Structure 1
Amino acid sequence: MRFIIFAILLAFPFLEIAVLIELSQRYGWWVLVYLVIIGYLGLQLIRSEKDLMAARMFQQMGAGSNPVAAMFSTARNMFAGVLLLIPGVISDVLAVVLLLIPSRTPGVGATGNKHSAYGRASANDEVIEGEFTEVNDSKPADNVVHLPRKD
């Protein structure tokens, strides 16, 4: 098992270089533009995850749940950002697969079923619809029943 993992890790850079050489022979300098843009997107992903990490942790703690799930979600997204920074198409495909895996923890500001961002049920979780008619006190309507006030 260790040998298989070692062989994959050893073959990965050579495979990345072979794919980059093939693509650069086929598409020319557009591959360089692709690598620069993808590297920039990976850097932005790492920066945004770094900024959101504390907010996700506090959201999970405020909801009374375990913040470890938020840490794993952030770590997964940061690892995908590092994979985007590595020049190569295979690492970019792996990063996209990591980013497409759905997370169990909602993002910051996202709401779950009938819960607010803090995990508690909202005060007006049931909506009552209806119509109203404004009644002037000086001239009561025929179909309106006025109840006596308790002062």
Structure 2
Amino acid sequence: MRFGWIVLLLLSFPVLEAIGIFWMAGAIGGWVLPWLLLDAIAGVMLIRAERVAWGARLLFSVQSGAHPLAALFASGRILLAGGLLAFPGFISDAAALLLLLAPGTWNRRKPDPLRPANDDVLEGEFKRESDDLLR
């Protein structure tokens, strides 16, 4: 039963996008076509840029001690947003913007218990050897 709802949703998505395009064309006129064209170009550029950057992001996450899955999920989120931007329609544009603007929850590191909470404070002892340097 659940599989049927998923198939129905996936099949109705392009129809809902087409209805949204026609509705927006009626509201704002001929500006819909340049919007969709620029949107598709932005989606393709985002996919191309992420295709190059995912390896560096993965390497940096491993070197910095973060979990590598965090970098993979971030890259996947950006690739999915690029695909949604390349797909014509306003519903997919809104979903892509949500994916791009949502803060990443996978790359947050837990605080190290051995590291002090405030890095500006240096704790230690000192002893003044001579007052001759002050005169």
TM-score range, shorter chain: 0.7 to 0.9
> Residues 39-64 of structure 1, C-alpha deviation per residue, up to 9 Å, x if partnerless?
11112211221222111111111123
Aligned length: 118
Q: Answer with 1 or 2: which has the greater Rg.
A: 1
CA shift, 1:27, in A, is 2.2
Q: What is the RMSD computed on CA atoms of the aligned residues?
A: 2.5
Which whole-Å CA distance do the structure 1 matches of 2:8 and 2:27 have between them? 28
What does 1:2-151 correspond to in 2, within 5 Å?
Answer: 2-104=3-105, 105=107, 126=120, 145-146=132-133
Which amino acid in 2 is paired with 1:96?
A: L
Which amino acid in 2 is paired with 1:87?
A: P
> Residues 18-52 of structure 1, C-alpha deviation per residue, up to 9 Å, x if partnerless?
11112223322200011011111112211221222
Unaligned runs of 5+ in 1: 107-111, 114-120, 129-143, 147-151
Which amino acid in 2 is paired with 1:37?
A: L
Higher relative contact order (CA 8 A, sep 6+): 2
Which whole-Å CA distance do the structure 1 matches of 2:91 and 2:121 have between them? 50
Which amino acid in 1 is paired with 2:46?
A: L
